[in-house]
């Protein structure tokens, strides 16, 4: 992987209703802003506000795509992330 130029991150965003969205981005903060401005993915439009519950990376583009698919298929992981992100930190 070449420096930060090729660094991708896999993220899971949650909204107030507990709906999870999994995606990849080079800049997760900017991507979250797009989701919250209703200019991101079609799935997230009108369902915000969104917050980042989990990130992984940096990864190559291919690694990030593979990991995104793994997460989308793993309901247990998404459920665990929802629970851990809703539990307040002491």
Residue 29 belongs to what domain range? Answer: 8-86
pTM: 0.85
Tell me what percent of the residues of the chain surpass a pLDDT of 70.
Answer: 89
Bigger pLDDT: 27 vs 90: 27
Residue 1 domain-assigned?
no
Structural domain total, the chain: 1
Query: Tell me: the pLDDT tens digits for 27-65?
Result: 999 999 999 999 989 999 999 999 999 999 999 999 999
Q: Is the CB of residue 53 less than 8 Å from the CB of residue 20?
A: yes
pLDDT at 83: 81
Closest residue by Cα to residue 64 from 17, 5, 3, 7: 7
Dihedral angle computed from the Cα positions of residues 30, 47, 50 and 36, in that order, rounded to the nearest 10 degrees = 30
Residue 32: give its domain's CATH number.
3.40.1440
Confidence band of 86 (pLDDT split at 50, 70, 90): low
């Amino acid at each position: 992987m070449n420096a930060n130029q090729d660094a991708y991150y896999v993220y899971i965003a949650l909204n107030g209703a507990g709906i999870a969205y999994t995606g990849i981005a080079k800049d997760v903060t900017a991507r979250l802003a797009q989701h919250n401005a209703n200019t991101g993915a079609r799935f997230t439009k009108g369902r915000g506000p969104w917050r980042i519950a989990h990130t992984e990376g940096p990864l190559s583009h291919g690694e990030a795509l593979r990991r995104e698919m793994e997460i989308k298929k793993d309901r247990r992981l998404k459920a665990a992330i929802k629970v851990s992100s809703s539990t307040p930190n002491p």
